[in-house]
Amino acid sequence: MLEELKKPTAVEGIKRSSNLLRGDLAQELANEVTNVTSESEQLLKFHGIYAQDNRDVRRERALNAETLEYIFMVRVVVPGGMLTTERWLALDRIATNLADGTVRLTTRQAVQFHGVIKNGLRPLAISLDHELLSSFAGCGDVVRNVVSCPTLQANSGDPQLSEIARTLSRAFRPTTNAHWEIFVNGDKAVSREDDCERPIYGQTYLPRKFKIAVAHPHENCVDVFAQDVGLIPATHHEFGTGFNLVVGGGLGRSYANRDTFARLAEPLTFVTSSEVPEVIGAVIATYRDLGDRTDRKRARMKYVVADLGLKNFREEVERRLGRALRAPLALPENFDASDHLGWRTNHDGTHEVGVRISAGRVRDDVNGARVQSALRRVANSFDVTFFITPQQDIVISNVATGDREAIETILVDHGVRMAEELGVVERNALACPALPTCGQALAESERRLPELVVNLEGVLAKRSLSRRPLQLRMTGCPNGCARPAIAEVGVVGRTKTTYDIFVGGGIRGDRLAMLYREKVPFGEIANVLDPLFERWEREGVVGEAFGDFVSRTGIS
């Protein structure tokens, strides 16, 4: 009875009445006000844009009765993180001319621009369109940027595997013309009479976002079990090559809702390559129909799978698919995650080098590495391909043998440290942007990551652990954008000055971390973890990773 009394959220009403994501956006973009209404903020997300304000000056402006410093974040869709040098240079120019000057790489292999003002949104969209890029569907209640292992794309030698992320992106991209009318073509908005949307989206799209990732068959850099749908290449003895399809993962939760939780995906079925779009379409349709549209904090597909159970969820998918699903195959045993850093040789004899980008922020530091200039120089000088990795780094691929030394020289001359020079925590540390731009952030993340890395590496060195890798992921809130819920050490913002600490996840991405301590002040994080490191040094077996040690010993 209570379920019948629940009403759809206000966002559902905004979507339904939006005329396929148009709403009043065109009119609001044309006025001189520096922000938009709350209804338009919701619709902007579908166009890859988040309305924000500079939280560093929010209090000062409020005390002075001044308007907030309104800015926007724009997220560019980059399926599988693959970019030509021309597109990279275009993104670099856009960052310089229309944003805060930096290019932000995400854990979903997308690109974000920060600090964009409202009257820069249309010029930015037009600039992207000239490069056949777009922010449309970078956010919102749709299938988000499809993630794929860089090695799968650059080094598999299999055209189907290398193109899978782009194939899926095309298959599930919304078809409304709204974005191009409002942001690119301007006055053509009233002339479109043939506009329509995919049936899997309809008038109200999905209950919330939907994430797909494609893993390499032998390594899990994409964290495939943290996705709504994950694909793992496999070979069936009867049906040949295809994928194990896993469903129901997701890491975000809410402090205000105890009925939210992190969850790992479970194997659902084996699909051949040709069946992938159809079966994923049936999964999406199941989520569309059964996802909770009355509570956005519990609207993700993982809760549908958790509430129904995998057996009942499978039956719902089969009903929409119109046939039975095959049983899944056994998951890979060798499934460690590569960070893709350093040099390696591709299957075709070319080379690639992975370059560390601290917290994914591509820029020239005043007293440090000039990463942005180095990548610009490489892109202007060589015919290579760039891959954004799920660790927020850059792989420069398709490097000819004769160009390898010159590219490394450019990197070194610009102060970019090579993989072997990186610290054991620094090498794998992730962070979300958090303050001052993200409206969800409760605490700092990106800006304090370097200090936390130094603190942890200092404690490890004190205990003769300076050569033992440690995976650190830090976020300013529990939404989990940097995936701390499956990290060896996850640091999650709880209040403005404190963090919850999770331990025991692992580099394979197949184990949730456990809550170790709550509300720890930032300056005490390393010291709080030190007793665990002492036990790891004393009791760990040879070669045992920290997360594996914590899981084995059940430390609490």
- List 108, 144, 298, 300, catalytic entry: 144
CA distance 128 to 135: 8
Mark whether 439 and 531 lie in a shared domain: yes
Q: What is the pLDDT of residues 136-146, one digit of tens each?
A: 999 999 999 99
Its domain, for residue 403, covers 342-421
Mark whether 393 and 482 lie in a shared domain: no
Mark whether 397 and 441 lie in a shared domain: no
Residues 482-492 have a mean pLDDT of 98
Mark whether 535 and 430 lie in a shared domain: yes
- List 22, 108, 211, 494, catalytic entry: 211
432 is catalytic: yes
Confidence band for 192, pLDDT divided at 50, 70 and 90? very low
- List 209, 293, 298, 363, catalytic entry: 209
- Whether the per-residue pLDDT at 3 is higher than 70: the answer is no
Beta carbons of 476 and 467 less than 8 angstroms apart:
no
pLDDT at 194: 63
Mark whether 349 and 447 lie in a shared domain: no
Confidence band for 187, pLDDT divided at 50, 70 and 90? low
Q: What is the pLDDT of residues 7-37, one digit of tens each?
A: 999 999 999 999 999 999 999 999 999 999 9
Mark whether 494 and 539 lie in a shared domain: yes
pLDDT at 302: 98
pLDDT at 308: 98
Domain boundary among 421, 439, 464: 421
Residues 349-367 have a mean pLDDT of 95
Residues 510-524 have a mean pLDDT of 97
Mark whether 409 and 437 lie in a shared domain: no
Residues 280-303 have a mean pLDDT of 98
Residues 51-58 have a mean pLDDT of 96
Q: Is 456 exposed, middle or buried, given 0-12, 13-18 or 19+ CB atoms closer than 10 A?
A: buried
Mark whether 368 and 446 lie in a shared domain: no
pTM for the whole thing?
0.96
98, part of any domain: no
433, part of any domain: yes
264, part of any domain: no
Domain boundary among 364, 387, 421: 421
pLDDT at 457: 97
Structure tokens at 423: 């610290």
- Whether the per-residue pLDDT at 275 is higher than 50: the answer is yes
Mark whether 356 and 390 lie in a shared domain: yes
Q: What is the pLDDT of residues 156-185, one digit of tens each?
A: 778 888 899 999 999 999 999 999 999 998
pLDDT at 155: 80
387, part of any domain: yes
480, part of any domain: yes
pLDDT at 201: 98
Q: CATH code at 442?
A: 3.30.413.10
CA distance 148 to 120: 31
CA distance 173 to 170: 5
139 is catalytic: no
Identify which of 177, 301, 141 has the alpha carbon closest to the alpha carbon of residue 230: 301
Q: Structurally, how many domains does the chain consist of?
A: 2
Percent helix, strand, coil in the chain, to 5, is 40, 20, 40
Q: CATH code at 403?
A: 3.90.480.10
Which region, left, alpha or beta, applies to residue 430 given φ > 0 means left and ψ of -120 to 50 means alpha?
A: beta
149 is catalytic: no
Mark whether 435 and 416 lie in a shared domain: no
Domain boundary among 421, 436, 471: 421
**Mean model confidence pLDDT for the chain:** 95
pLDDT at 193: 56
What share of the chain in percent tops pLDDT 90? Answer: 91
437, part of any domain: yes
- List 139, 149, 221, 432, catalytic entry: 432
Mark whether 433 and 520 lie in a shared domain: yes
- List 139, 149, 221, 438, catalytic entry: 438
509, part of any domain: yes
Helix (H) or strand (E) holding 530: helix 525-539
Residues 208-225 have a mean pLDDT of 96
Identify which of 206, 292, 280, 209 has the alpha carbon closest to the alpha carbon of residue 247: 280
Residues 264-279 have a mean pLDDT of 97
Q: What is the pLDDT of residues 57-91, one digit of tens each?
A: 999 999 999 999 999 999 999 999 999 999 999 99
pLDDT at 156: 76
541, part of any domain: yes
221 is catalytic: no
Mark whether 522 and 447 lie in a shared domain: yes
209 is catalytic: yes
Confidence band for 122, pLDDT divided at 50, 70 and 90? very high
pLDDT at 195: 82
Q: Which residue has the higher pLDDT, 493 or 337?
A: 493
Structure tokens at 354: 């992975």
Q: In Å, how far from its chain's centre is CA 179?
A: 22
144 is catalytic: yes
